Amino acid sequence: MAMTMTVRVTGAGGFVGSWLVERLLAAGRDRMCDDDRFDLCASDAKNAHLAALDGAGERLRLFRADLLDYDSVAKAVAGCDDIFHVELLAPAVTGTKNVLKACSQAQVKRIVVVSSLSAVMVNPEWGDKAMDEGCWSDVDLCRTTENWYCLSKTLAELEAFAHAKRTGLDVVTLCPSLVIGPLLQSIVNASSAVLVDFLTGDRLVKMKLRNFVDVRDVTDALLLMYETPEASGRFVCNSHPRRVSDVIKLLKSWYPAYKYATK
């Protein structure tokens, strides 16, 4: 990528977004922008970690944009070359539609959308076959089981590819499993809170298999998709499933003083 590219990251203050900003700055990108729907500025405590990153002073610009408000998205996207769409919100479809439309209007070259394994795995019809990028969650099943997160991620990703087909916008998507790892931001996000549950026993954990992926692997995958022109379509980003009881064992060996879930 040329050193004059301007990259925008939505949801930059979040768990995945913060690591992506860190990696982009570390990789020496020329300049990048990020956004927030509230008061995003260097003095905003919630996002102070971004302004403190190496290179942020020279190459990071912070924007405020509500992704549910098309005009604010269009204003924020104007002048950018490429987009990482990382935000998380219940009505993901509206936010994604707004970003896609603004990208087309602004003639953005490529948009990398963070979808989720939730848009892949809710599909009993798939049977015994190993799930891969060809597998889509069943929207009717998500709806009838009131699995709103999976439904919104699936619909948002389907919409991203439908928009790409209609307009020719270069869209690639990443479907990570449960993302864990060190936090750059000060607020505990939803996926990191799952690990806290292992300590408090709020969820049944014994024997259950979970798919995890490290946040640094997720951001590396996003950068690879961004930098590889021939990358197209969707990419699953996951490691081997781990038994939750084994994860707890590991946590105990690192932090023996905590109490852990036993049921």
Ligand X SMILES: NC(=O)c1ccc[n+]([C@@H]2O[C@H](COP(=O)([O-])OP(=O)(O)OC[C@H]3O[C@@H](n4cnc5c(N)ncnc54)[C@H](OP(=O)(O)O)[C@@H]3O)[C@@H](O)[C@H]2O)c1
Cβ 144 to ligand X, closest distance in Å? 21
Q: Does position 181 bind ligand X by CB under 6 A?
A: no
Respond yes or no: is residue 206 known to be catalytic: no
Q: Does position 191 bind ligand X by CB under 6 A?
A: yes
Contacting residue, 9, 103, 147, 176, with ligand X by CB under 6 A: 176
Q: Does position 63 bind ligand X by CB under 6 A?
A: no
Q: Considering the complex, state which of residue 31 and residue 210 has its C-beta at the smaller distance from ligand X.
A: 210
- Identified catalytic residue from 153, 165, 249, 263: 153
**What are residue 79's phi and psi, to 5 degrees?**
90, 0
Neighbour-count burial for 45-56, b at 16+ CB within 10 Å, e otherwise: eebebbeebebb
- In angstroms, the CA 263 to CA 258 distance is 16
Q: Does position 68 bind ligand X by CB under 6 A?
A: yes
Q: Which of residues 149-168 bind ligand X (CB under 6 A)?
A: 153
Q: Does position 179 bind ligand X by CB under 6 A?
A: yes
Q: Does position 89 bind ligand X by CB under 6 A?
A: yes
Q: Does position 49 bind ligand X by CB under 6 A?
A: no
Q: Which of 79, 113, 120 is nearest to 96 (CA)?
A: 113
Cβ 205 to ligand X, closest distance in Å? 17
Q: Does position 37 bind ligand X by CB under 6 A?
A: yes
Contacting residue, 7, 8, 9, 15, with ligand X by CB under 6 A: 15
Q: Does position 116 bind ligand X by CB under 6 A?
A: yes
- Which residues contact ligand X (rule: CB under 6 A)? 11, 13-17, 36-38, 65-68, 86-89, 95, 114, 116, 153, 176, 178-179, 189, 191
Active site residues: 153
